Structure 1
Amino acid sequence: MRTKFLPLLVLPLAMSACSASEVADAPAPIGEKQAKQLAKELDGKTPGEPVNCITSINARDAMRISDDTLLYRVSGNLVYLNKLRSSCPGLARGDDIMVVETYSGQYCRGDFIRQVDRYSGMQGPSCSFGDFIPYRKAK
């Protein structure tokens, strides 16, 4: 008889835990320094249509703007902006090694990024890519 009522007690607890994790994953507002860096990198460039993947060979120069924003500089004329699908706490600090888990020669929407402490080797938070938005200089 008691087991019938157990799901009724567990469901509200599970729902409150989900809503608490959603709040924790909310990205912190971008700071003034980060906004200046982003503006500097995108200055004179026009956004294009978002793409799902970029070639990992061209995406070697990753810049951590905030805990949920990355820039990949391909050349002086092309930069890809990626708003991660969730916040990655501590990503902007740049202390950790950023490891991209990909199974192709591309970085794609949904691929995971893991942070690994460079001193202890312990894994930190992980997150996943969103769409890649190309920003190009006008010709």
Structure 2
Amino acid sequence: MRIWMIGLAALTLAACESTMEPTGRSERDQAIYDRELAGKVAGKVEKCLPLHRSRDMEVIDDHTILFRDGNTVYVNTTLGDCNNMSDDSYALVTRNVGPQLCRGDLATVTDASSGMTVGSCSLGDFVPYRPAS
């Protein structure tokens, strides 16, 4: 009986593993990401981004947000996936304390028509990408 249970557990685990989808970016999302960072080099990681630098935002996928400030692009990889964040029918709403967005601030994905929350996550570090000298 015990061997049968171990075998069943192993079979169940194998079935789950084979049905998991990869979490990579789509070709379209990767092309946008590559285009935005082309010719730029990563700078020192920043924990916060002043709000005046975060006005031009583009969601790449369910865990990557780009913030443009002039020639600099800040990449934020969220702490966990923000389900539905990359769906154009939803809005990303950030909640912050003070005049900046910081690592750990809550971001919620909201249905624009109903106001219902459909996903959430925390912001990660902000990595600035600036033109190579």
Q: 1:57 to 1:49 in 2, by over 3 A?
A: same
Alignment of 1:90 onto 2:81: no
Shift of 1:27: 7.7
Q: Which residue is equivalent to 2:101?
A: 107
Structure 1 residues not aligned, in runs of 5+: 1-23
- Partner-residue secondary structure (3-state), 1:50: coil
Q: Deviation of residue 116 (structure 1)?
A: 1.3
Q: Which runs of 4+ in 1 moved over 2 A?
A: none
Once superposed, what is the RMSD of the aligned Cα atoms? 1.6
Question: Is the CA contact (8 Å cut-off) linking 1:27 and 1:87 kept in structure 2?
Answer: no
CA deviation vs aligned residue, 1:80-110 (integer Å, no higher than 9, x gap): 0011010011111132121111011100000
Q: Which runs of 5+ in 2 are unaligned?
A: 1-19
Tell me how many residue pairs correspond in the alignment.
Answer: 114
What TM-score results when the alignment is normalised by the length of structure 2?
Answer: 0.81
Counterparts of 1:4-43 in structure 2, within 5 Å, are 28-43=23-38
Q: Give, in whole Å, the separation in 2 of the partners of 1:94 and 1:45.
A: 27
Q: Deviations over 1:51-98 (max 9, x none)?
A: 1001011101110101000000011x1000011010011111132121
| Contact persistence 2:96–2:106 (CA under 8 A) | yes
Asked if 1:53 is matched to 2:48, the reply is yes
